[in-house]
Amino acid sequence: MKTRQAEKSINPPSLKLRRTKKVLVFGTFDGIHPGHIFFLTEAAKLGKLTVSIASNDIVKSLKLKIPLDEKDRKNQIEKLGIASKVIIGDQKPRTWSIIKKEQPDIIAVGYDQKKFYDALKKDYKEINTPFKIVKIKSLKPHIYKSRLLHKREKICAYCTIPEIKERTILENKFAFAFPTNIPIVPGHILIVPKRCVAKFEDMTKSEKEAVFDLQSKLKIALKKSFGADGFNIAWNEGELAGQSVPHFHLHILPRKPGDEGITKYEPRKFLYRPNGNREKSPENELLEVSKLIKKHL
């Protein structure tokens, strides 16, 4: 009976009458990844979102090692543009001063915040602020979990080899460019996001813009430096497609007549079929391909 009453109080019916709900989420946010972005995006669908970043003191009390200071983590969340407000949270565990100050209608919790969820339920009466708890579903937790991503980052060449950082040609806030150590042609450049993410869709809008901003600037420089008349610009995604480093990297290859790299360069062989054959496919086959792709859009 007590349990039912407690659950009822956590979801006060009066909240249904409000038009714009105030939503509050808590988290450490130690390196933004797609799981974080998914969580925040889903929480923002519930109302006006405020994000409370775990303070350095809270992190230390939990005996966690976080690569970024609280201000840097706050700055990263603000740049995503998902939250209406980003604040640094309480200095001591379970004081709940942020909740009392912000007066949220909803507190959204992630799939892996069980201890936090239990603490909220236990201290609900003491907090003395009516709010509803909403659990946000997960996005591929076997991939997008901070602990696993940090583990992967330790073996990423672009994140760990100091010589690569020393080779940096150009950088901005979210990306940097450097010559690859196995160039197909002289001037073969890689552009990578500073955050360790494997795929193009894993990057934030700001990171994508940063990568293509560097690409535009480097093309101008490569034309002057190597007399490029054209470019190959591409990336490999997944091991099967030849991605050897689990960190997104955009290749830029300056091209000019007579190029030879690891092998003699012939565009049709390089970009199309292994034997260079580019015979036309029958129209009915192309229509079937179109139908198949449209079916899954």
- How many domains does one find in the chain? 2
Residue 249 or 36, more confident: 249
Domain boundary among 128, 148, 168: 148
**pLDDT tens profile 214-260:** 999 999 998 888 888 899 899 988 877 878 788 999 999 988 887 76
Per the structure, the complete domain to which residue 110 belongs is given by 2-148
Burial of 107 (0-12, 13-18, 19+ CB in 10 A): buried
pLDDT bracket for residue 45 (50, 70, 90): very high
For tokens 């939990």, name the residue.
Answer: 62
Predicted local distance difference test score (pLDDT) of residue 278? 52
Burial of 232 (0-12, 13-18, 19+ CB in 10 A): middle
pLDDT score of 15 more than 60: no
Same domain, residue pair 19 and 130 = yes
Burial of 176 (0-12, 13-18, 19+ CB in 10 A): buried
Same domain, residue pair 34 and 114 = yes
Under 8 Å between Cβ of 136 and 108: yes
CATH number at residue 69: 3.40.50.620
Sign of the Cα torsion 197, 200, 205, 211 reads: positive
Best-predicted range by mean pLDDT among 62-66, 193-197, 257-261, 276-280?
Answer: 193-197
If you average pLDDT over residues 71-92, what whole number do you get? Answer: 89
pLDDT score of 6 more than 50: no
Phi, psi for 176 (deg, rounded to 5): -145, 160
Strand order in the sheet with 175-179: 170-171, 175-179, 189-193, 250-255, 230-234
Same domain, residue pair 162 and 237 = yes
Q: Which two tokens stand for residue 220?
A: 């101008």
If you average pLDDT over residues 196-203, what whole number do you get? Answer: 89
Under 8 Å between Cβ of 235 and 250: yes
Same domain, residue pair 96 and 24 = yes
pTM: 0.47
If you average pLDDT over residues 68-81, what whole number do you get? Answer: 85
